[in-house]
Amino acid sequence: MPRFAPLRTLKTSKLKTPRLPPKVKAKMAQGMGKLRRFALTTVKEEYIARMQRLRQGACLRCGLCCKLFFECPFLQNLPGGSSRCRIHGRKPDNCHFFPIDERDLRDRDSLGAPVPCGYSFRKA
């Protein structure tokens, strides 16, 4: 008698992907966002330049983009809720160009921000 059912007898419709808690999903999206920004700033200079032309507004120094997936060790939280980057003049491109596009704003908002990012994007 076989120990396991033969593969052809398994009903794949009964194999369901486990549901992940929303916090885990958001964390995974934040990690993917970090990889996406790294890839875009490394190989997609034209896309970065185009999105920078569509970007409007200014940084409010809320520091939330520095808390995606993990809190950056160079983030300095200031009294009054503001923040600053300890390596601002030398920070990597994926930080420098944040937010690159709307996906970054969605990742940032997944942290439950009380106010939106100071940047937004005009429609192309």
- Residues interacting with ligand SF4, by CB under 6 A? 59-65, 98, 108, 117-119
Q: Which residues contact 54 (CB under 8 A, 6 or more apart)?
A: 121, 122, 123, 124
Quote the least distance from Cβ 102 to ligand SF4, whole Å: 13
In angstroms, rounded to a whole number, what is the distance separating the alpha carbons of residues 121 and 124? 9
> 25 or 88: whose CB is closer to ligand SF4?
88
- What is the C-alpha separation between 81 and 97, in angstroms, rounded? 22
| CA atoms 67, 72, 77, 83: torsion sign | negative
Residue pair 119/102 in contact by the 8 Å Cβ criterion? no
Q: How far is the CB of 99 from ligand SF4 (least distance, A)?
A: 6
**For ligand SF4, which is the closer residue by CB, 51 or 117?**
117
CB of 68 to ligand SF4, least distance (A): 9
Q: Pick the closer one to ligand SF4 by CB: 27 or 113.
A: 113
Q: Which is nearer to ligand SF4, 20 or 38 (CB)?
A: 38
Q: At closest approach, how far in Å is the CB of 110 from ligand SF4? A: 12
Cα 8 from Cα 97, distance rounded (Å)? 50
